[in-house]
Amino acid sequence: MLQQTTVKAVAPYYLRFVAQFPSVAELAEADIEDVLKLWAGLGYYARARNLHACAKAVAARGAFPDCEEELLELPGIGAYTAAAIAAIAFDRKATPVDGNVERVVARLFAVEQELPNAKSAIRKLAADLYPARRPGDFAQAMMDLGATLCTPKTPACGHCPFAGACAAHALGDAQAFPRRKKKPEGRLRRGAAFVAIRADGRVVVRRRAANGLLGGMTEVPTTEWSTDFVVAHAITNAPEFPRSDREGAPEAGSETSPKVALKVSWHRVPGVVTHVFTHFRLELIVLRARLPKSARAPEGMHWIDRDGIAGAALPSLMRKVLAHAMAE
């Protein structure tokens, strides 16, 4: 959870998560939908899917591996996480380098090479610092040093135990390190979201593909998100609802379900919903439709009631969309 996310943001999610899944075995046996529900709003959802897959792999092995090489074989575990687990959990000599440690080391040695190209050099420098004795304690101390004193902006050099040996501090410009290449700004993407509300207050949703952005999460139907989105063409991507002339008709997709589409009137909700992902900014217009209580969900979709929205595996973006659609 702490990968690319602050402790402050993670803490409440972590407490709820371990309360629901207090052991690796219980997490391994859980449905991925339940895992994603608890993760909803935290972002970077591939972490949740990898964590679930990792729990399954560990449960199948019968125990956690205790060395970097074997830890790296587990789903979702990369070089940093493997080193951190080996050092902190198993007291192995390992060199976990997260963003905080990277910053401390880059300043300590005044590494002029720009990130991300400097990562390899910084890891080598960090490896020379890490001791064979109590590697886990040293790793956590380095992480905390970066999080509390050697911060990205206005580092507290006067309180730093490394100040006397820090090359960047000696230069009088610690904040300028680590050097970074300017990231190219991602192009704005746009699209449309379709919020269909049934007379009983239920909303139609679907699950996103397991892989890719927001993989496995619940969403309202949308168009593709593209840089050349045309508002006038959005309606052609609206979901079609099977029509039924009687209550309690079979669900869409069954052999006896009618194939005639229900006539639906979509109306644009004023304004747009904006959301910023790591590599691009997104703007969605919202089209809303009111459907009769007898309306059935399109194939691959289902209805959830308003009470169910709170507990659904909806990412922050979709919660914004629903709030926008239901504001009036």
Same domain, 123 and 171: yes
pLDDT(247) > 50: no
Distance between CA atoms of 301 and 159, rounded to whole angstroms? Answer: 56
Inter-residue contact 93 to 132 (CB < 8 Å): yes
Same domain, 198 and 167: no
What band does 103 get if pLDDT is binned at 50, 70 and 90?
Answer: very high
pLDDT of residue 328: 65
If one compares 252 and 142, the residue with the highest pLDDT of the two is: 142
Cβ partners under 8 Å of residue 39, min gap 6: 13, 17, 45, 47, 48, 313
**Does the model's pTM come out above 0.75?**
no
Same domain, 171 and 217: no
Q: Residue type for 64, please? A: F
Residue at 100 is within a domain: yes
Q: Residue type for 167, please? A: A
Of 176, 200, 217, which residue sits at a domain end? 176
Same domain, 167 and 201: no
For range 148-172, the mean pLDDT: 95
Distance between CA atoms of 301 and 97, rounded to whole angstroms? Answer: 43
pLDDT(249) > 50: no
Inter-residue contact 99 to 146 (CB < 8 Å): yes
The domain that contains 235 carries what CATH number?
A: 3.90.79.10
Inter-residue contact 81 to 68 (CB < 8 Å): no
SS3 180: strand
What band does 5 get if pLDDT is binned at 50, 70 and 90?
Answer: confident
Residue at 136 is within a domain: yes
SS3 204: strand
For range 171-177, the mean pLDDT: 94
Distance between CA atoms of 66 and 77, rounded to whole angstroms? Answer: 13
Residue at 181 is within a domain: no
Of 152, 176, 200, which residue sits at a domain end? 176
The domain that contains 25 carries what CATH number?
A: 1.10.340.30
DSSP type of residue 178: S
pLDDT of residue 168: 96
Task: Average the pLDDT over each of 2-11, 127-136, 187-196, 202-211 and give the range with the smallest value.
Answer: 2-11
pLDDT(159) > 80: yes
pLDDT tens-digit map of 107-123: 999 999 999 999 999 99
In this structure, which long-range contacts are made by residues 81-86, counting pairs with CB atoms below 8 Å and at least 24 apart in sequence? 81/3, 83/139, 84/139
For range 222-240, the mean pLDDT: 93
pLDDT(312) > 70: yes
pLDDT of residue 158: 94
pLDDT of residue 310: 81
Residue at 183 is within a domain: no
What band does 253 get if pLDDT is binned at 50, 70 and 90?
Answer: very low
Q: For the CA atoms of the chain, what is the radius of gyration? A: 25
Proportion of the chain above pLDDT 90, given as a percent: 75
Count of all residues that appear for the chain in the document: 328
Q: Cα-flanking dihedrals φ and ψ of residue 303, to 5°?
A: -95, 145
Ranges 37-41, 202-206, 246-250, most confident:
202-206
What band does 154 get if pLDDT is binned at 50, 70 and 90?
Answer: very high
pLDDT(278) > 90: no
Same domain, 13 and 142: yes
What is 187-249 written as a DSSP string?
PPEEEEEEEEEETTS-EEEEEPPSSSTTTT-EE--B---BTT--GGGGGGG----B--SSTTP
pLDDT(155) > 80: yes
Question: Number of H helices and number of E strands within the chain?
Answer: 12, 6
What band does 245 get if pLDDT is binned at 50, 70 and 90?
Answer: low
Residue indicated by tokens 């063409």: 233
Same domain, 62 and 206: no
Residue at 184 is within a domain: no
- The residue segments making up the domain with residue 43 are 7-176
pLDDT(257) > 60: no
Q: Which residues pair with 301 in a beta bridge?
A: 206
pLDDT of residue 54: 95
Same domain, 12 and 152: yes
Residue at 1 is within a domain: no
On average, the pLDDT of the chain sits at 90
Same domain, 54 and 155: yes
Domain count, the chain: 2
